[in-house]
Amino acid sequence: MKGKVYIQGCAAISPQESFSGSFVPQPVLAEDNILRAKEPDYKAFIAPNNLRRMSRMLKMGLTAALQCLQNAGITVPDAIITGTGRGSLQDTERFLHDIRQYAEAALNPTPFIQSTYNSVNGLIALQQQCTRYNNTFVHRGFSFEHAVLDSLMLLQEGNAANVLTGGFDEITKEHFYIKSRIGYWKTDQTQPADLFSSNTPGALAGEGAVFFVLGTTPANISLEGIKMMYKPTQESLGRSLETFLSQHQLTPADIHLLVTGQSGDSNHDHWYQYLQQTYFPSTASTPFKHLCGEYDTAGAFAMWMAVQQMQQPQLKHVLIYNQFFGEQHTFILLGR
C-alpha cells in the first residue's frame, strides 16, 4: 500500500454546537450524567414527508453525512464506510416493546428495518444514488477505527479516490440504565467542569454522528495512520506507540499535540496518565470526552476535534489516543 490519504471535509453532530463549527468549553448537564447531541434543523437536508418517518439516529447520521459531502464538494462518494457500536437504539427498543405489547402479532416492521446497524449507510446511499462499496463495522470501541482502516486500505490500494467515512451512536434512557448497572456511568451527577477532578468510577454518557471524506487528492491535513490494540499491558502499549511512530519516521518529541480520551473514570484514566508521563511529559495535550461524553465511536469526535485544532498552522503532527473501558485502545496520527 502506498500514497497519502487526506481529510477533504468533515462534519459533526455532537453535544457541542459542532455542526455550526463552535465549541462550548464547559457544557452544563440538565439531567442525569448524559451529554445529549445538539441536533440541527434537519429540514434543510431531509424532505418533511421523510423526516417524520425517520428515527433520531437516522436523521443525525444522514444529515452529518450530507453536510460532510457538501463541505468536501462531493456528491457521490466512491464508497461509504461507517462504524457504530449500537446502531439505532431508539428503533431497537421500540420494536422490542411492540413485540411485548402486541404479543408478537400485528407488528410494525419499520422500527425493525431502521434498527439494523447498516440502516444509516443504506439511507445515505439511497439519498445520493451511490451503488458502490458500502460497509458498516460493529466492533464496540473499535467500530469507527475499523471503518477508518478499511477506508485507508481501499484508498491506498487504488480502489477508490474518495471515501465517506463516519461513526455514529446514540444514548437512550433505557440503555443508560442498563449500562449503569455494570458501572459504565458515574453514580452522582458530575458536571463536565468537574469531570477530571472527580476521582470517581464511571464516565459521562455521550452520543454523536461524525463523518469525514477521506481521499487521495492533496489537502491541508493528512491521515497518516491508525493502530489498534486489544487489552494491552502498559508495557506493550508503550512498545506499540514507539513502533507506530517509528513507522512514520517520528518520535514522541515530534508530536505537537496529544488528544486524549480521558473520561474522568478512575478505573481507566491511568492509561492516559502513564502514556503522558512516560512519553509526552512536555507535549501539549487536550482531552475531549468532557465535550462529547463516552460512547463506542467517540474516537470519531476526537478526530473531528483534532482537525479543528489543526487549523493552527504550527501543529504539524497530532496524535489521538483513546481507549474504551480498558479493552480497545487506538492511536490515530494526523499530519500537515
Instruction: Identify whether residues 120 and 202 lie together within a single domain.
Output: yes
Residue range 2-38, pLDDT digits in tens: 689 999 999 999 999 999 877 766 788 877 899 999 9
Interatomic CA distance for residues 243 and 187, integer angstroms: 39
Interatomic CA distance for residues 171 and 186, integer angstroms: 15
Q: Which of 186, 215, 244 is the last residue of a domain?
A: 215
Interatomic CA distance for residues 14 and 331, integer angstroms: 22
Residue 6 Ramachandran class (φ > 0 left, ψ -120 to 50 alpha, else beta): beta
Domain range enclosing 257:
224-335
Residue range 191-201, pLDDT digits in tens: 999 999 999 99
Cα dihedral 192, 198, 199, 204, rounded to 10, equals: -30
Interatomic CA distance for residues 58 and 295, integer angstroms: 17
> Nearest 5°: CA angle at 85, between 213 and 270?
95
Instruction: Identify whether residues 174 and 27 lie together within a single domain.
Output: yes
Confirm whether 308 is domain-assigned.
yes
Beta strands (DSSP E) in the chain are: 6-13, 79-83, 133-137, 162-169, 208-215, 222-230, 257-260, 285-287, 317-324, 328-335
Q: Which of 183, 215, 247 is the last residue of a domain?
A: 215
Spell out the per-residue pLDDT of the chain, length 336, in tens: 468 999 999 999 999 999 987 776 678 887 789 999 999 999 999 999 889 888 899 999 999 999 999 999 999 999 999 999 988 888 887 878 778 887 888 788 877 777 788 999 999 999 999 999 999 999 999 999 999 999 999 999 999 999 999 999 999 999 999 999 999 999 999 999 999 999 999 999 999 999 999 999 999 999 999 999 999 999 999 999 999 999 999 999 999 999 999 999 999 999 999 999 999 999 999 999 999 999 999 999 999 999 999 998 899 999 999 999 999 999 999 999
Cell numbers 437516522: residue = 58
Interatomic CA distance for residues 94 and 98, integer angstroms: 6
Confirm whether 1 is domain-assigned.
no
Number of domains in the chain: 2
Query: Running DSSP on this structure, what letter comes out for residue 159?
Result: S
Cα–Cα nearest to 300, from 145, 124, 80:
145
Instruction: Identify whether residues 191 and 234 lie together within a single domain.
Output: no
**CATH code: domain of residue 178:** 3.40.47.10
Q: Which of 152, 180, 215 is the last residue of a domain?
A: 215
